[in-house]
Amino acid sequence: MPIYEYSCSKCNKVFELMRPRSESSLSATCPVCNAESPRIVSDFTHGVAFSKDAPESRKDSANEKMWISQQKVEENKVKNPDPLKKWREEREKSCGKGPEAWVEYAKQEEAKVQKVKDYGTGFTGREV
């Protein structure tokens, strides 16, 4: 038998009850103040309590999350149409204009690292 969670609006007590699924939608009596308390329904309890509908529920939830994600991507494109602009500017300052210069700079850096490996720890970092 599943356990359901209830919240009393009168005394703010949250409590659990073990009930048959046929009674899952019914409210329960609060053990503190005896007021009628509605059941708390979350994504987790919905998936567990209504397992026969769970695949559709998960699919709807996934579709909604995907839609929200796509909306955020679209908003970010409007706010920042070129997210790599700052990165490109930093590369241009450090190694020159354009991708060809970046590749050459990366090759030079790799050659420096290889020299350190070849000559061991005696390398001072100065050009030879």
In a domain, 127, yes or no: no
What domain range is 26 assigned to? 3-45
> Between the CA of residue 17 and those of 51, 95, 128, what are the distances in Å?
19, 67, 78
In a domain, 79, yes or no: yes
**CA 63 to CA 67: how far, in whole Å?**
6
Number of domains in the chain: 2
- pLDDT at residue number 33: 93
Residue with the bigger pLDDT between 123 and 82: it is 82
121 pLDDT band (50/70/90 cuts)? low
> Between the CA of residue 96 and those of 84, 103, 105, 108, 127, what are the distances in Å?
16, 10, 8, 13, 19
**CA 82 to CA 115: how far, in whole Å?**
37
Predicted confidence (pLDDT) per residue in 32-58, tens digit? 999 998 888 765 555 555 555 556 666
82 and 115, same domain (yes or no):
yes
- Contact assessment for residue 25 and residue 39, using Cβ atoms and an 8 Å cutoff: yes
In a domain, 54, yes or no: no
> What's the pTM?
0.34
In a domain, 50, yes or no: no
Amino acid in position 117: K
40 and 82, same domain (yes or no):
no
